[in-house]
């Protein structure tokens, strides 16, 4: 969920509860209907809606459509801009005005890069999203492996040790495999092997679901005192 939707959903839910869910349902149905019509139009004619509107309508009609499209885009993006500004405010303590300016600057940078390897930028962003999904579970899993007395140091040492053993050697191993075999297949197999090792290690972790962490801490303190 993007920051704009998050902010508007929280605000609407806090003020109206479930009273506006019918608006979400009707909007979703209308959007699916319009997307279906647009897809059929493109399949039959081989052109998009903008091209057909340009051919069908005169200058006045095209100007009206352009103005209504701009108003709709602005109405949708207001929530996104405010949501990003709110995220800057909550995470970094940036005032809302400066958060809006940072959001605008970020948008201008992305637009300026359009046409200059923009697809590569999208691939990088997608890779970062996938990496964050994998990384987000690690702190929670590693935190449950240690009692409170040594949780910080245990997680830190464990993370740095694995990064040193696995992460620091990965580029060297990948470049060596590419140089020797001149193919991406050995690198893919190396990554799959690393993932298999991680999966096996995760399977051998002790499950803490339903176990009181306070009880584990008390048992740890008794062991230390004893």
Dihedral sign, Cα of residue 60, residue 63, residue 65, residue 71: negative
**Which residue is listed with tokens 């935190």?**
143
Full pLDDT tens readout for the chain, 226 residues: 455 566 566 667 777 777 777 887 888 888 888 888 888 888 888 888 888 888 888 888 888 988 988 888 887 777 778 777 877 887 788 888 888 888 888 777 766 766 665 566 676 677 677 777 766 677 677 777 777 777 667 777 777 777 776 777 777 788 888 888 888 888 888 888 888 887 887 788 777 777 777 777 777 777 777 6
State the pLDDT at residue 193.
86
Residue 187, Cα to own-chain centre: how many angstroms? 26
- 222: its two tokens: 């008794």
What is the CB neighbour count within 10 angstroms for residue 104? 13
CA dihedral of 138, 139, 140, 143, whole degrees rounded to 10: 120
Q: What is residue 196's predicted lDDT score, i.e. its pLDDT?
A: 86
Whose CA is closest to 125, among 103, 110, 105? 110
- Describe the crossing of helices 118-143 and 151-162 by its angle, rounded to 10 degrees: 140
Nearest-angstrom CA–CA distance, 127 and 120: 10
Contact (CB, 8 A) for 130 and 115? no
User: Cβ neighbours of residue 23 under 8 Å, at least 6 residues apart?
Assistant: none
Domain spans, the chain: 3-113, 144-225
**Tokens matching residue 213:** 């962490």
Six-digit token string for 157: 């040492």
For 12, 24, 36, 39, 55, the CA distances from 31, given in Å and listed in that order, are 20, 10, 9, 12, 24
* One-letter-per-residue 3-state SS of 68-96: HHHHHHHHHHHHHHHHHHHHHHHHHCCCH
**Distance between CA atoms of residues 143 and 155, nearest Å:** 6
* pLDDT at residue 195, as a whole number: 80
Could you give the CA distance from residue 42 to residue 68 in angstroms, rounded to a whole number? 22
Taking residue 2's Cβ as centre, other Cβ atoms within 10 Å add up to 11
């Amino acid at each position: 969920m993007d920051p704009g939707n998050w902010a508007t959903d929280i605000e609407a839910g806090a003020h109206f509860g479930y009273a506006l869910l019918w608006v979400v349902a009707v909007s979703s149905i209308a959007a699916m209907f319009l997307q279906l019509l647009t897809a059929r139009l493109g399949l039959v004619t081989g052109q998009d809606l903008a091209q057909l509107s340009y051919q069908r309508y005169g200058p006045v009609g095209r100007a009206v459509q352009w103005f209504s499209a701009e108003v709709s885009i602005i109405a949708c993006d207001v929530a996104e801009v405010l949501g990003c500004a709110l995220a800057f405010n909550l995470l970094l303590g940036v005032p809302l005005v400066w958060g809006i300016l940072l959001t605008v600057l970020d948008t201008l940078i992305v637009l300026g890069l359009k046409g200059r390897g923009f697809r590569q930028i999208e691939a990088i962003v997608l890779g970062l999203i996938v990496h964050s999904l994998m990384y987000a579970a690690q702190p929670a899993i590693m935190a449950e492996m240690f009692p409170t007395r040594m949780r910080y140091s245990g997680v830190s040492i464990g993370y740095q040790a694995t990064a040193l053993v696995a992460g620091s050697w990965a580029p060297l191993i990948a470049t060596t495999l590419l140089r020797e075999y001149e193919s991406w297949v050995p690198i893919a197999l190396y990554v799959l092997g690393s993932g298999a090792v991680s999966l096996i290690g995760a399977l051998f972790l002790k499950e803490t679901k339903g176990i009181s962490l306070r009880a584990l801490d008390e048992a740890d303190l008794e062991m230390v005192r004893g």
